[in-house]
């Protein structure tokens, strides 16, 4: 990704590190994907795959980011039991 060397700072502020090595939000963009499985008490199960683009804008300048996903269209499919 990059390197940062400084003898001027006594204590390194990790929130600014991505900015100091010259990275941009666009360079850090990535997609993650994971499966969700719901198993009911009657042993029926349902699965779905979720894909999310990360990071959310502002991680380089802020050092951290978060996003609550509330409008996702997830379709669960019943699996064979």
Question: Model confidence over 29-65: pLDDT tens digits?
Answer: 899 999 999 999 999 999 999 998 887 788 888 888 8
Count the neighbouring beta carbons within 10 Å of the beta carbon of residue 17.
15
**Long-range pairs of 20-29 with CB within 8 A, sequence gap ≥ 24:** 23/60, 24/60, 25/55, 25/57, 25/58, 25/59, 25/60, 28/55, 28/59, 28/60, 29/53, 29/54, 29/55
Ordered by start, the domain boundaries in the chain are 14-78
Per-residue model confidence (pLDDT) at position 41? 95
Q: Which of 4-8, 19-23, 65-69 has the lowest mean pLDDT?
A: 4-8
């Amino acid at each position: 990704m990059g390197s940062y060397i400084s003898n001027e700072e006594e204590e390194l502020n990790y929130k600014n590190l991505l900015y100091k090595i010259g990275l941009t939000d666009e360079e850090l963009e990535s997609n993650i994907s994971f499966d969700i499985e719901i198993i009911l008490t009657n042993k029926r199960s349902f699965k779905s795959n979720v894909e999310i683009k990360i990071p959310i804008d502002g991680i380089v300048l802020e050092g951290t980011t978060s996003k609550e996903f509330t409008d996702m269209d997830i379709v669960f499919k019943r699996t064979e039991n």
